[in-house]
Amino acid sequence: MLWPPEYFSSQRWAREKSFRKAGYRFIAGVDEVGRGALAGPVVAAAVILPEDFDHEDLADSKVLTPEKRATLYEIIVREAISWAVGEASHEEVDALGILQASLLAMSRAVTRLTPTPELLLVDGRFCLPGWSGPQKAVVDGDALCASVAAASIVAKVTRDRLMESVSPTYPVYGFSRHKGYGTKEHLEALKLYGPCPIHRRTFRPVSDLTGPPGPR
């Protein structure tokens, strides 16, 4: 996608630029992926970008091809001031619920950043509990803030690679193709073989096949 030069200097990422004009330098965008998956962890990323960072293809990871995500991932991790990832395991998703597990993964990513962010821009409607510094929850942040878009890409590529790496351990499920989401292929495999150790037992239809989770 090609943007006219004036777009970079005006409208594009205007929300994040407004915070920079307010005096914040180290702004960390925070996002997660994997909330809706039936298997595997929630993976979050936090990214602090240089003020002048931009790329014509930078966008919410969901609208990018895998090839463009991989290319942008390499650019982001090379040029970012700081970046980090955090996970909440499938066991933590079952124990805490998906919202709290997602916030936990994002908190883990943020605490691994150096320098400490002066402001967090958290994708979604919820801020991170326990974070003492300034933060803003930004709905559709991955479409409005460059650092959040970058975080969405880092989180997505990281989680996709993780699910590809475990696919040979559980070959009948096809994790390398659907990354644990509820595709037709995945649902048919669940019916045939039941859940494997990395499935989320509290998520339907996995819970329908395994019954209620045991004591926590």
Q: Which residues are annotated as a binding site for a divalent metal cation?
A: 31-32, 123
Q: Collect contacts of 161-169 with beta carbons under 8 A, ≥24 apart.
A: 162/40, 162/41, 162/43, 163/39, 163/40, 166/40, 166/198
CA 188 from centroid of its chain's CA atoms: 27
* Cα angle for residues 105, 168, 71 (degrees, 5° grid): 60
CB 61 within 8 Å of CB 69: yes
What CA–CA distances, in Å, run from 151 to 53, 58, 61, 199?
13, 11, 9, 25
* Whole-number Å distance between alpha carbons of 69 and 137: 24
CA 208 from centroid of its chain's CA atoms: 27
* Whole-number Å distance between alpha carbons of 33 and 111: 18
Annotated binding site: which residue ranges? 31-32, 123
> Which residues contact residue 62 at a Cβ distance below 8 angstroms, ignoring those fewer than 6 apart?
142, 152, 156
CB 64 within 8 Å of CB 154: no
